[in-house]
Amino acid sequence: MEKFYLTTPIYYPSGKWHLGHCYTTVYGDAVARFKRLEGLDVFYLTGTDEHGQKIEKRAADAGVTPKAFVDGLVAEIQSLWRELNVSYTKFIRTTDESHVRAVQNIFKRLYEQGDIYKSKYKGKYCTPCESFWTESQLKDGKCPDCGRDVQDAEEESYFFRLSKYAPRVRELLTKSDYLKPESRVNEMVNNFIDAGLEDIAVSRTSFTWGVPVEFDPGHIVYVWVDALSNYITALGYNGDAPSADMQAYWPADLHLMAKEIVRFHSIIWPAMLMALDLPLPKKVVGHGWLLFGGDKMSKSKGNVVDPFVLKARYGADALRYYLLRAMPFGADGAYTSEALLTRINTDLCNDLGNLVRRTGKMNVQYFNGEISRGQAVSGEDDPVVAQMNALYGEVKAAMDEYKPQRALEKIFDLIGAANKYIDVTKPWALAKEGQTERLREVLYVLNEAVRIAGTLLLPFVPQTAAKIMEGLGLAVPERNKDLAFGKQKAYRTKEIDALFPRLNVEKELDELEKLADKKEEEKVEEKTESAPLITIDDFCRVQLRVAEVLACEKVEKADKLLKLTLKVGDEQRTVVSGIAKYYTPEEMVGKRVVLVANLQPRVMRGIESRGMILCASEGDKLTLVTPESLIGSGAEVC
Ligand code: MSP
């Protein structure tokens, strides 16, 4: 049986899932389901990317071990995929023992053959993106990917000889169909390869939550090397020995992802595979972002984008349909609750729902649900029949190019045409006039249209499509076959419930707004409730002192930071604080603040910050915590 290996990104277990996160995985699921219906043996891989400094920090903040921290979040994302009917074959976790061993072996092999070497890293690091940058790659001094502040990083590190593979990677991108859409190829070649591809640091020593380099355990394998390897370790690859799944499924037919991580998949990943002497994946597709008020991340208030909430309210298929239909291939799409609700009403409830409901009702009303070909064929059937006959080819062509939006457009064109066909042929008039044979044929045409559209909808809205088949009295097909007019000779149909209830958009928007407010409140409560209890001894380890602000200035090229000169008793010290949006330097001078005096110093923007000043925050508001009456600087806060 022909094999098809498909992967979606393994997610950071952030716990803040929004609808945008669901896009890649639902998209992958539509492709996986379509290929299975085509008779292919599909291996669909997804999972979680659990290592790195960011997780280590968040776990420490929560007072738990990183593994305990990720376990809960992994269970949550698995339940999200279940809720959305994602039919993955395997869920890999980068904390799986077999993956960890395999990454160690891969690293060792690359080191032994000279593709990895030890040197010193000096540059910048963006912790949220877990990415190294050189000074020249920064955009206005910030991470070019996410726009956030970067930290100075200088450490002994292992390097991967990416530069050695630059010519082959360039050729792969420019001379093959490896990366789609085309626009991303230019971006990669111009911005990264032709700008000079340097060797990359592939180990870190400043934290411990990751895969230790086996032969130098102070070093942790760079998270992207760890993460990208999942595509082969999931198939049992462990550095050299071939595994049965590797032989069966590798190379991947499709790596699907959003555009921001195309760089890793089209430069570092093929170079790693070249170094390992493995065949290269056939295709990388980088899709656009679902935008929330112009942003990839959802920070918007008033728009519920929690997929669990939306799923509970509108069902998995409505969300799947919206995501797959709203996003044109490779481009971004803007999310609004209104657009989601309108799609549900117009496409799913009106167009699809009405066709299925009207046809089903007439089946029962005129022929007791028993439909077969009528004797009176008419030329007026030709256009809709031709459309039915063309549809499978069109959907297949779209899906071969991984374009679910186009496939759905075509399916809904047929649904629209079938609805029009009802209006034109007027079955109720035929019944009144006693034209039974013509009426029978008209209903047969309609049932065929519902069957063909319903079957082709299976990859996109599986539950709805199965219900349509149930209404037609047919088993859910396991293969795309008989997708031409006339292939189903007769029907014994059943009445089914409405596929999608009509939504009152105004009312729903109102409800969603209330839900969004409630979620915000819950978040605040959760933050307060989830803080772990500490002992008085724990608390006493924190030294809080009153400090007077002697001088204050903005930190160059950092919108959020102020540099404060503080008087703490007889001592003076510098503290950098992220309060520039709330206070001007002039306002700060003379204020008495509360300082966490025994924090380890940290370098921010080249300035050593010794301590942290306390603030209270609520939503968008932030205010300094100050002593209620005048008290000398240096006074202890207890
Ligand atoms: N862990 C890495 C991937 C490693 S793959 C070897 C990662 N994780 S992530 O959790 O930050 O994002 C996972 C994926 O979520 C993104 O690649 C993208 O496919 C998807 N999306 C997250 N936000 C999105 C939108 N707003 N819109 C569309 N897709 C989005 O990156």
Predicted confidence (pLDDT) per residue in 189-217, tens digit: 998 898 889 999 999 998 899 999 999 98
**Cα–Cα dist 373/489, whole Å:** 7
**Cα–Cα dist 281/265, whole Å:** 10
If one residue of 257, 272, 296, 297 were mutated to test the ligand 1 pocket, choosing by the most ligand atoms within 8 A of its CB, it would be 257
| CA nearest neighbour of 611 among 524, 522, 538, 542 | 542
Atom of ligand 1 nearest to the CA of 258: 19
Say if pTM beats, i.e. exceeds, 0.85: no
* Bond before 212 cis per omega within 30 degrees: no
Q: Tell me if 441 CB under 6 Å of ligand 1.
A: no
Atom of ligand 1 nearest to the CA of 291: 26
Rounded to the nearest angstrom, the distance between the alpha carbon of 512 and the centre of ligand 1 is 25
Q: What is the pLDDT of residue 450?
A: 98
If one residue of 7, 12, 18, 21 were mutated to test the ligand 1 pocket, choosing by the most ligand atoms within 8 A of its CB, it would be 21
Rounded to the nearest angstrom, the distance between the alpha carbon of 265 and the centre of ligand 1 is 13
Atom of ligand 1 nearest to the CA of 9: 5
Q: What is the pLDDT of residue 590?
A: 93
Q: Tell me if 92 CB under 6 Å of ligand 1.
A: no
Q: What is the pLDDT of residue 304?
A: 67
Q: Tell me if 43 CB under 6 Å of ligand 1.
A: no
- The structure tokens listed for 464 are 């709805």
- The structure tokens listed for 354 are 């009405």
Q: Tell me if 23 CB under 6 Å of ligand 1.
A: yes
Q: Tell me if 28 CB under 6 Å of ligand 1.
A: no
pLDDT digits over 394-432, tens only?
999 999 999 999 999 999 999 999 999 999 999 999 999
Strand 490-492 to 370-372 pairing = antiparallel
Is 231 in contact with 252 (CB distance < 8 Å)? yes
Q: What is the DSSP string of 495-522?
A: ----SSPPP-HHHHHHHHHHHHHHHHHH
How many C-beta neighbours within 10 Å does residue 452 have? 25
- Adjacent-strand bridge partners of 159: 117, 201
Q: Residue count of the chain, please give it.
A: 638
Using a pLDDT cut of 70, give the percent of the chain over it: 96
**Cα–Cα dist 173/274, whole Å:** 14
Atom of ligand 1 nearest to the CA of 261: 17
Strand 179-180 to 200-201 pairing = unpaired
- The structure tokens listed for 571 are 């001592």
Q: Tell me if 564 CB under 6 Å of ligand 1.
A: no
| CA nearest neighbour of 482 among 443, 506, 436, 448 | 448
Nearest CA to ligand 1 atom 22: 21
All residue ranges of the chain with pLDDT < 70 are: 294, 297-304, 519-534
Q: What is the pLDDT of residue 394?
A: 98
